[in-house]
């Protein structure tokens, strides 16, 4: 549904749960620390950490890359806006790293037996940053008016909604047209932001003066923005959670050069490097600095999944044996270990490991160049040249394209890489002017939100680089995905999704490359920074600085 | 009187050139693949036609090219540079906001490179046959040949990471809330690395050119005459040799000065200096046409302005030029 891509170069807003073979509890605490750190950190230190009393005070300096175009979430949903403004604005719900909903502005919620009526009970003592109370009227306005007009990702969810009502000041009722399995996963702050009705109602939203001074309900207030230099947030003294936030403020430094960002951490100017702010090749070096911790957690909600579009409409890609051959020919473990420093996970198939309803019985496409050659012989591939479009976000992606090109050449596929920039890449994908192309998509926890969009034949209209770009069309797959989205309860959904995964595994509409892992690197005395499925996007709420 | 007429004539020509540049830039930019609506939609992940159409309409991109061009040109004539699609602010505000930072950086680099370059070049000319002269020239050659970004990165590694003498990036210390003199000092400290980096190349060029030009001037008959008159060597160096050697340096300085608005992209990026160069680069990547055209306009105006100023300075430095054209 929604791909907040950074506009420029190397930096990817990403991260993923690690595949470290630790017990689940430990794994949560450690996140995806590099193994070196894992062994270097004594368990006793961790036990201590959990007992320590959070300390009030202090300002954290961190980095936002690239500079966001604006800070009004709901109006803008790209990655840097989500990261900064996720600490200013809030949604009705938050999510644990296991993608379980937990209260944010909604204190509790009920779902009707038939899965069609969702009732949210809102917190009562919440104030907007300008002092006005937050009520159910704001929630209805945000969902029914503001997002319907401005927010394509919320719009896709709202299609399932029949009505939104506020029976009293602190209750919101969503009535759906039919059950929609992932509905409770849609209320994250970045996707379904609560915006103040008293400021936006009846105005031209995009030209509202308040856009330069965002007003939310979150733990931090907007303080100032020196364009090109720094965005400052300060503590919301009236925040509804007593004692929170512990910090006095957060400064988001804007540093356009990757090497300079690494230096800023090294020389102590910044203390937190959110996912994707430094180049991959700097990660091992920075992780080994003194007092440095890192985690791959905090991206479970997004779970970025790198893929290889294969244009099903023309050339050898129309033959599924060719597409299977590509899967067998690619050494994805090598790409992960060498290009991504071992971070991330080689996916089994179309459903990533964080997605619900993954079918674990599928046969994986292991690296097998011989099998690839066989398939190519069998289909009678004549050596037609195919083009390969890398993601124009920096060195890692360029090298990755070269690695894939070499893999494919080894089995006899004639590949030419095409270089382009972000604008050109977007356009070529939107116009389907490619043979093979790298991309990555967010999964949003549920197949109906983040996965089915790439395979539904009803979602192939040219003009978007994020829908069914490969042009795959299979009526059976459409039927299964559509039925699964609205099936109720979950056990029914599971059966349908398991079936659709078997078909996709055989058809390979596109290449499944890697569930990307991006670390958040920080000083170890910054505590409790990554504590939910969106990590630093809202993590400063609970973070604190130890002496 | 002559000056006034000359300046008027030049300004008139400049206006025509500028207009042509605007039109040419506008058309050139259309050749780049992708448009701002598609890129913004891509960033926001809008797999939604309505969203893109909404943006295109808002930006006026749904209209025919000639209508867009006409609107743009007539806007500029009334000093309206349009609206940045992405930053949702008037282009003029964005540029004026960043201009001081860039002028501070490039201006400092300009003065630094010019003064040091001429001094080093004169010294090298006077010591043409001594080892010290060769050392200066070797250094100049080194800086001349070294890529800017590499110098920048190495300077950061040495002075910020290793020695911790100078701040690595930014224009002032974030969060220190300095006032008055402290703030000036803070900015000056932040300015040292980027200004030096930016100035090094031109300093090397000035050094080489001053030396060559002075050695050439030193061969002239009027220098022999001056010596024969018994003038002090220092006076001959300054008044007879250096002044006559200045013309090519002025030409080059005019070129460098013309680049003051848009010429520091790399330096601004590496040092996170909040200037115009970065604004331009980001606008290019994001296809923020209005903003990009606005920066182009200011850069072009700067080049033209400094061409005119250079011509005037020629006349002061070498009165023969005035006589020839009058």
DSSP codes joined into one string, A169-200: TTEEEEEESS--GGGGGG--TTTS----HHHH
- Tally the domains of chain B: 2
Same domain, B107 and B67: no
What pLDDT sits at residue A481?
A: 92
What's the pLDDT at A47? 40
User: In this structure, are B73 and B16 located in the same domain?
Assistant: yes
Higher pLDDT, B237 or A481: A481
Q: Are the beta carbons of B168 and A78 separated by less than 8 Å? A: no
pLDDT at residue A31 is higher than 50: no
Candidates A161, A151, A235; CA nearest to A194 is A151
* pLDDT single digits (tens) A254-271: 988 888 888 889 888 899
Q: Is B71 found in the same domain as B129?
A: no
- From CA A495, how far away is CA A509, in angstroms rounded? 21
pLDDT number for residue A42: 39
Is the predicted pLDDT of residue A370 greater than 90, yes or no? yes
For residue B273, the domain's CATH number is 1.10.3720.10
Q: Which residue has the tokens 């890192």?
A: A294
Q: What is the pLDDT of residues A182-218, one digit of tens each?
A: 899 888 888 889 999 999 988 888 878 888 899 999 9
Say if residue B175 is in the same domain as residue B303: yes
Q: Which of B91, B109, B134 is the last residue of a domain?
A: B91
Instruction: List the domain range (segments joined by +) for residue B300.
Output: 99-325
A468 — phi, psi (to 5°)? -80, 80
Q: Is the pTM of this model over 0.90?
A: no
**A35: pLDDT strictly greater than 60:** no
Nearest to B272 among A4, A257, A426 (CB): A257
Q: What is the predicted pLDDT for the residue at B147? A: 84
Residue B2 contacts A, CB cutoff 8 Å: no
Closest Cβ opposite residue B45 in set A77, A251, A263: A77
Assess whether B246 and B316 both reside in one domain. Answer: yes
| Same domain assignment for residues B31 and B178 | no
pLDDT for A87: 93
Let me know the angle formed at the C-alpha of A453 by A451 and A455, rounded to the nearest 5 degrees: 85
Using the 3D structure, point to which of B91, B109, B124 is the last residue of a domain: B91
The answer, for A470 touching chain B at a CB cutoff of 8 Å, is no
Residue in B52, B175, B270 closest to A260 by CB: B270
Pairing of strands A272-273, A520-523: antiparallel
Considering the domain architecture, whether residues B154 and B302 belong to the same structural domain is answered as yes
Q: What percent helix, strand, coil does chain B show, rounded to 5?
A: 80, 0, 20
Instruction: Centre a 10 Å sphere on the Cβ of residue B20 and count the other Cβ atoms it contains.
Output: 11
Residues B47-64: tens digit of each pLDDT: 567 777 777 887 888 888
DSSP readout, B113-157? HHHHHHHHHHHHHHTTTSHHHHHHHHHHHHHHHS-HHHHHHHHII
- Rounded to the nearest 5°, which phi and psi values hold at A52? -65, 145
Give ∠ CA A58-A63-A66 in degrees, rounded to 5.
150
Question: What digits encode the pLDDT tens for the residues A107-144?
Answer: 999 999 888 999 999 999 899 999 999 999 999 999 99
pLDDT exceeds cutoff 50 at A21 = no
Pair A121, A93: CB distance under 8 Å: no
**Residue A521: is the preceding peptide bond cis (ω within 30°)?**
no
Stated length of chain A? 547
| Interacting residues of B318 by C-beta distance below 8 A, sequence separation 6+ | B244, B247
Share of chain A above pLDDT 70, in %: 91
Enumerate domains of chain A plus CATH numbers: 3-213+520-545 (3.90.76.10), 304-515 (3.10.105.10)
Contact B168 A66 (CB under 8 A): no
Phi, psi of B145 (to 5 degrees): -95, -10
Do residues B25 and B170 both lie within one domain? no
Residues lower than pLDDT 70 in chain B: 1-2, 43-48, 263, 322-326
- For residue A423, give the chain B residue with the closest CA: B34
pLDDT of res. A475? 93
Are B77 and B198 found together in one domain? no
Q: Report, as an integer, the average pLDDT of A351-363.
A: 88
Please tell me the distance from the alpha carbon of residue A249 to that of residue B239, in angstroms, as a whole number: 60
pLDDT at A366: 93
Examine the domain organization and report whether B15 and B163 are in the same domain.
no
Edge-to-edge strand list for the sheet holding A171-176 = A106-111, A117-122, A171-176, A161-168
Beta-bridge partner residues of A110:
A119
Is the pLDDT score of A443 beyond 60? yes
Q: Are A157 and A271 a contacting pair, CB within 8 Å?
A: no
Helix-helix angle B289-317:B65-77, to 10 degrees? 50
- How many residues are recorded in chain B? 326
Confidence of residue A51 (pLDDT cuts 50, 70, 90): low
Q: Is A524 exposed, middle or buried (0-12, 13-18, 19+ CB in 10 A)?
A: middle
Q: Within this chain, do residues B84 and B107 fall inside the same structural domain, yes or no?
A: no
Q: Are residues B126 and B71 both part of a single domain?
A: no
Q: What is the pLDDT of residue B153?
A: 83
Residue A222 β-bridge partners: A233
């Amino acid at each position: 549904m929604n791909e907040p891509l950074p506009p420029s170069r190397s930096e990817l807003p990403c991260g993923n749960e690690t595949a470290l073979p630790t017990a689940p509890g430990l794994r949560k605490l450690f996140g995806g620390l590099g193994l070196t750190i894992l062994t270097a950190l004594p368990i006793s230190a961790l036990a201590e950490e959990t007992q320590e009393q959070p300390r009030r005070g202090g300002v954290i300096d961190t980095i936002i890359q690239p500079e966001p175009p604006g800070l009004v979430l709901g109006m803008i949903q790209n990655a840097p806006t989500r990261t900064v403004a996720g600490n200013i604005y809030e949604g009705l719900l938050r999510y644990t790293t296991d993608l379980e909903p937990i209260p944010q502005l909604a204190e509790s919620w009920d779902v009707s037996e038939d899965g069609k009526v969702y009732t949210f009970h809102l917190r009562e003592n919440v104030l907007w940053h300008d002092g006005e109370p937050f009520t159910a009227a704001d929630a209805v306005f945000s969902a029914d008016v503001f997002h319907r007009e401005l927010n394509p990702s919320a719009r896709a969810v709202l299609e399932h909604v029949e009505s939104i009502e506020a029976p009293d000041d602190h209750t919101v009722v969503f009535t759906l047209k039919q059950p929609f399995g992932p509905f409770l996963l849609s209320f994250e702050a970045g996707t379904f932001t609560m915006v103040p009705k008293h400021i936006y109602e009846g105005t031209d939203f995009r030209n509202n003066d308040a856009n330069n001074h965002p007003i939310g309900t979150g733990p931090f207030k907007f303080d100032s923005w020196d364009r090109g230099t720094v965005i400052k947030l300060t503590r919301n003294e009236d925040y509804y959670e007593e004692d929170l936030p512990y910090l006095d403020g957060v400064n988001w430094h804007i540093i356009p050069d990757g090497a300079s960002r690494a230096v800023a951490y090294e020389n102590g100017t910044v203390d937190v490097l959110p996912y994707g702010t430094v180049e991959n090749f700097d990660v091992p070096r920075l992780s080994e600095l003194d007092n440095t911790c890192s985690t791959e957690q905090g991206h479970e909600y997004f779970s970025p999944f790198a893929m290889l579009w294969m244009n099903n409409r023309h050339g050898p890609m129309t033959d599924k044996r060719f597409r299977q051959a590509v899967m067998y020919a690619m050494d994805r473990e090598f790409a992960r270990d060498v290009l991504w420093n071992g971070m991330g996970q080689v996916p089994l198939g179309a459903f990533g490991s964080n997605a619900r309803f993954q079918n674990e019985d599928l046969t994986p496409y292991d690296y097998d160049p011989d099998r690839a050659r066989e398939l190519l012989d069998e289909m009678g591939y004549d050596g037609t040249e195919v083009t390969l479009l890398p993601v124009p976000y920096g060195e890692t992606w360029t090298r990755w394209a070269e690695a894939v090109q070499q893999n494919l050449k080894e089995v006899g596929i004639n590949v030419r890489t095409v270089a382009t920039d972000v604008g050109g890449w977007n356009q070529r994908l939107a116009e389907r002017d490619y043979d093979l192309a790298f991309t990555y998509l967010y999964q949003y926890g549920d197949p109906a939100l983040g996965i089915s969009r790439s395979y539904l034949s009803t979602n192939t209209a040219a003009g978007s680089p994020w829908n069914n770009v490969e042009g795959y069309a299979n009526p059976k797959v459409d039927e299964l995905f559509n039925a699964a989205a609205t099936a109720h309860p979950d056990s029914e959904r599971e059966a349908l999704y398991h079936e659709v995964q078997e078909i996709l595994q055989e058809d390979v509409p596109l290449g499944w490359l890697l569930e990307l892992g991006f670390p958040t690197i920080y000083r170890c005395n910054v505590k409790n920074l990554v504590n939910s499925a969106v990590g630093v996007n809202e993590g400063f709420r609970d973070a604190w600085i130890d002496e | 009187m002559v000056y006034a007429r000359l300046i008027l004539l030049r300004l008139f020509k400049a206006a025509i050139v500028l207009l042509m540049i605007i039109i040419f830039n506008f058309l050139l930019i259309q050749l780049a693949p992708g448009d701002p609506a598609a890129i913004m939609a891509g960033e926001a992940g809008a797999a939604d036609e309505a969203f893109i159409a909404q943006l295109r309409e808002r930006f006026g991109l749904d209209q025919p090219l000639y209508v867009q061009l006409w609107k743009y040109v007539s806007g500029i004539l009334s000093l309206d540079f349009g609206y940045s699609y992405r930053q949702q602010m008037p282009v003029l505000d964005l540029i004026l906001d960043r201009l001081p930072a860039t002028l501070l950086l490039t201006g400092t680099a300009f003065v630094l490179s010019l003064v040091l370059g001429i001094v080093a070049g004169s010294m090298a000319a006077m010591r043409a046959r001594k080892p010290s002269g060769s050392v200066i020239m070797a250094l100049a050659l080194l800086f001349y040949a070294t890529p800017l970004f590499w110098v920048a990165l190495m300077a950061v590694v040495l002075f910020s990471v290793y020695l911790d003498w100078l701040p690595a990036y930014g224009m002032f210390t974030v969060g220190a809330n300095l006032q008055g003199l402290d703030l000036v000092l803070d900015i000056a400290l932040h300015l040292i690395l980027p200004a030096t980096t930016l100035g090094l190349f031109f300093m090397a060029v000035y050094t080489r050119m001053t030396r060559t030009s002075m050695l050439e001037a030193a061969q002239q008959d009027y220098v022999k005459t001056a010596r024969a008159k018994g003038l002090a060597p220092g006076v001959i160096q300054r008044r007879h040799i250096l002044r006559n050697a200045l013309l090519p340096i002025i030409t080059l300085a005019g070129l460098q000065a013309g680049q003051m608005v848009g010429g520091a992209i790399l330096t601004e990026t590496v040092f996170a200096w909040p200037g115009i160069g970065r604004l331009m680069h980001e606008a290019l990547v994001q296809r923020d046409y209005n903003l990009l055209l606005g920066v182009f306009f200011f850069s072009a105006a700067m080049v033209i302005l400094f061409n005119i100023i250079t011509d005037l300075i020629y006349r002061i430095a070498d009165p023969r030029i005035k006589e020839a054209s009058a």
